[in-house]
Chains A and B, each alone.
Chain A
Amino acid sequence: MNLVSPTPAPAILYCHCRYAQVVPPEVKSAVLEQLCASGLPFEAVPDLCELSARRDPSLQRLAAAGPVKIAACFPRAVKWLFAAAGAPLSAASTEVLNMRVQTAAEVATGLLSAPLTPNLPAGKAVPADAPKPATPDASTET
């Protein structure tokens, strides 16, 4: 009897980085095109930074849902954007594809067909180290 559950297919998150020009438009466009052509389910967000600032609940659900591949920017930035949203990513089951430096082909392959390769930077901090949710009324610096 096999008691080992099959590894669930990773969720896919695509960030359009709408409010800045730091991701080459041709890379974003090609990755999105291939993502839509794949027929796979995905989450596409206009701007991951904004969702982080809003502590959007979809980030928390996504981080808690299991393996995930994220097409966005630098893994270190993505790691701490999620942490800032109260949605720490699992280092063991998260891969970040960097549209700022990788080609569209590399990102699309990593996102759609290659096995998940965890690549969040390791560090001293663990999710429990994250600061408590902000209480601006009580402790805002003015």
Chain B
Amino acid sequence: MALTDIPLRVVLYEGEGATVLDSVERLQSVRDLLEAGFGVTRAGAARPVAPADQSPLLVLGRWEGAVPAGEVAGTRLHWGALGEVPAVQQAESARTQVSAPAPGAWKPWFPVIDYDRCTNCMQCLSFCLFGVYGVDESKKIQVQNNDQCKTNCPACSRVCPEAAILFPKYKAGPINGDLVSDSDLNREKMKIDISALLGGDVYSMLRTRSDRAKSRFSKERDSDKALAERQKCLIKLSELAADIPPEVLMSLPSPEEIARKAEAASARAAALTGRGSPATT
């Protein structure tokens, strides 16, 4: 599947040369097509609709004469008659002929960035395990591989310090796009602190703790302490964010991975802009 493939669009034609449908038949056709995953344009003269474009089109109507045939420049056009053959069946047939993407092949779950709030801090790029994020030529964070996002995982939105990452299909605000309140921001900050514990800060925290209680921990290895602290943090995070899939929690990046990913993103941005190493990522 390539997300660059454009789906088939169905035009419900009720203009000159065709019968106007009664509202029940219109509703039935539109609803059936939507449920099957096809977009529908009900065209008319009173208000604009999206003009024809390079989308493959199937025009359906109750024609007064023969089913029209012919082409419209710049479009991949198919014609059909409402009646004997169900609209969905005709749409599926046309879709196959033009090799348009099959509806439902991918559940559209992916992050959407609110650039009114985004500060380009790159926390999301560093955190995401699935390579969803990247940077554009001006080193601005962007969603590049939305089909690689882990379905139902909102983890990156939880580490965003500005609540700038939306998942429109998420159940609750502000991640679903509802307005961001001050209390949401405070909550988000709490989450980023926890996230930081999972990353590099756990080591500095442990070093500080170790300095303070050197004798107590002198016989323990740093890696053991780090692992124990990490496990405690994971439990804490899973309690706060029960909707993050366990496999995501269990494979959160190590400090080394975060550093490596940040350096790689920085190098890519530098390569794209043809400049030297960027100051920050």
Taking Cβ atoms with an 8 Å cutoff, the residues of A that contact B are 8-12, 16-20, 22, 32-33, 36-37, 39-62, 65-66, 73-78, 80-81, 83-84, 100, 121-125, 129-132, 134-136, 138-142
Contact = CB atoms under 8 A, between A and B. Distances in A.
Interface in B126-171: 128, 131-138, 140-147, 166, 168-171
Interface stretch (B41-49, B198-206, B211-219, B238-246): B41-49
Interface stretch (B28-36, B64-72, B226-234): B28-36
A40 B37 CA distance: 22
B117 interface: yes
Contact of A19 (B38, B108, B128, B136): B108
A8 B45 CA distance: 12
B221 interface: no
7 contacts: A47-B108, A54-B4, A56-B55, A61-B53, A76-B179, A77-B112, A131-B141
Given A56-B7, A73-B177, A77-B177, A138 B268 contact: yes
B26 to A, nearest CB: 5
B134 A54 contact: no
Given A47-B108, A141-B125, A66 B141 contact: no
A86 B26 CA distance: 31
B264 A19 contact: no
B142 to A, nearest CB: 4
A77 B131 CA distance: 22
A117 B69 CA distance: 41
B265 A141 contact: yes
Counting chain B residues whose Cβ lies within 8 A of the other chain, the interface size class is 35 or more
Contact of A80 (B114, B134, B169, B264): B114
A10 B30 CA distance: 20
B107 A121 contact: no
Given A80-B115, A121-B116, A136-B134, 13 more contacts: A9-B48, A12-B47, A22-B169, A49-B169, A51-B39, A54-B101, A57-B53, A66-B48, A84-B143, A123-B115, A123-B117, A135-B136, A140-B145
Given A19-B169, A42-B42, A37 B23 contact: yes
Given A11-B48, A139-B134, A36 B26 contact: yes
Contacts of B30: 32, 36, 44
A81 B145 CA distance: 15
B55 A83 contact: no
Contacts, number: 225
Most chain B CB within 10 A, of A17, A46, A130, is at A46
A11 B49 contact: yes
Contacts of A50: 7, 106, 108
Contacts of A84: 112-113, 143
B4 A73 contact: no
Contacts of B177: 73-78, 80
A42 to B, nearest CB: 5
Given A41-B46, A44-B30, A124 B116 contact: yes
Contacts of B143: 84, 134
A5 to B, nearest CB: 14
A25 to B, nearest CB: 11
B62 interface: no
Contacts of B142: 131-132, 134
Contacts of A81: 112, 168
Contact of A41 (B43, B114, B145): B43
Interface in B86-121: 101, 103-104, 106-110, 112-117
Nearest to A16: B34
Q: Which of A61, A121, A138, A141 has the most B CB atoms < 10 Å from its CB?
A: A141
Nearest to B36: A46
B161 to A, nearest CB: 16
Contacts of B170: 22
Contacts of B34: 16, 18, 32, 44-46
